[in-house]
Amino acid sequence: MSVHACSTLPLPLQAYDCVNRCSDHGTCHQGQCRCYHGYYGDDCSYTYASKLLSCTNVTCHNGSACTEEGGVWGCNCPPRLTGQYCERNVLPDPCRDVDCRGNGVCTRTNYGRDPKCSCYAGYKGRKCSLLSDLCAESGRECVNNGTCVTNTTQCACPPEFWGEQCQYRINYCLPTNPCPGGHLCTHHNITQNYSCSCPNGYTGINCSQLILDYCSPSPCFNNATCVNSPQGYECLCLRGYKGGRCRKREYPCRRSPCGVGGRCRIVLYEPWGSVTCQCHGSYTGQYCELVT
């Protein structure tokens, strides 16, 4: 199969996370908290007002102990607790139990509360478990049974096709000759088309058009159907008419529909003639075929 190179799509960036989402008192920038005015600390959980206090008038929660250093006090929180007074539980990592099937990375959305799989190029789905058609997504869908090469925007074409989307046929005359009757087929590379060497009387890309139309205008009479052919035309007459052009009236009594015991009489000439049988002697029946 032929392959046409296109650039692969970049992998998604790994998200940066901050401690405890900066305690909602700051913004996270590449793994570091930028605290709002009046807050400080790795997770922005401390206020400058705390410098005016001491452990003598501070109550730390959940069994944590208060320590002072350099004129600044702080509560030493046990695991799973945070906050200025260790009053809040640390939220679990939302990506801890998320499996992106090795086809992506888990990132945190909604201020770090919700997990989301950011899929690598070529994969899609909630858990990145589905293959994506990068060719179709980039607006270059493979045609003529071409297949998109995994993780790329390249089309792998069948042997008889080529092009970025497998849109060109290498030879329109192969492997199957499109010309009827096995007539000579000629492939044209520039126009991406073909032509047939047609028998006498025919033309067109597939030799399906007659060069002359003997039925235009129709030479047939009395609503007969004209059938065109390279050799000429043929008129298919309606009932009651005959002849090469259906000009002659076929009288119904000439077919001798009545038996030996009857005489044919024409009741109606149009549209194709209606007859009745006049029976003699002991003959009876629709066609005088019965003897009483």
Q: pLDDT at position 271, please?
A: 58
Q: What is the pLDDT of residue 79?
A: 73
* Statement: residue 245 has pLDDT above 80: yes
Average pLDDT over residues 257-282: 80
Mean pLDDT of the chain: 79
pLDDT digits (tens, 9 = 90+) for 128-149: 988 787 787 777 888 888 988 8
Residue 78: per-residue pLDDT: 80
Residue-wise pLDDT tens digits, 190-231: 677 788 888 877 888 788 777 778 888 899 998 999 998 877
DSSP state of 217: S
**What is the separation, in whole angstroms, between the first and last Cα of the chain?**
88
In the structure, what pLDDT confidence band is assigned to residue 273 with cuts at 50, 70 and 90?
Answer: low
Q: Report the pLDDT averaged over residues 233-248.
A: 89
pTM for the model stands at 0.29
Token pair 């790795």 is found at 42
Residue 110 has pLDDT above 60, yes or no: yes
Q: What is the pLDDT of residues 147-175, one digit of tens each?
A: 888 778 889 998 778 888 898 877 778 77
Whether the per-residue pLDDT at 107 is higher than 70: the answer is yes
- Give the residue with greater pLDDT, 1 vs 230: 230
Q: Which fold has domain 252-291?
A: Laminin (2.10.25)
Angle, alpha carbons 263-264-265 (nearest 5°): 120
What mean pLDDT comes out for the span 18-44?
78
Predicted local confidence at residue 13, as pLDDT? 33
Domains 19-89 and 252-291 alike in fold:
yes
DSSP-H helix ranges across the chain: 134-137
Q: Which pLDDT does position 71 carry in this prediction? A: 67
Q: What is the pLDDT of residue 118?
A: 92
DSSP states of 11-47: PPPPPP--GGGGGGSEEEETTEEEEPTTEESTTS-EE
Where along the chain do its domains lie?
19-89, 180-209, 252-291
Q: How far apart are CA 15 and CA 52, in angstroms?
A: 37
pLDDT at 12: 36
Residue-level length of the chain: 292
CATH superfamily of 19-89: Laminin (2.10.25.10)
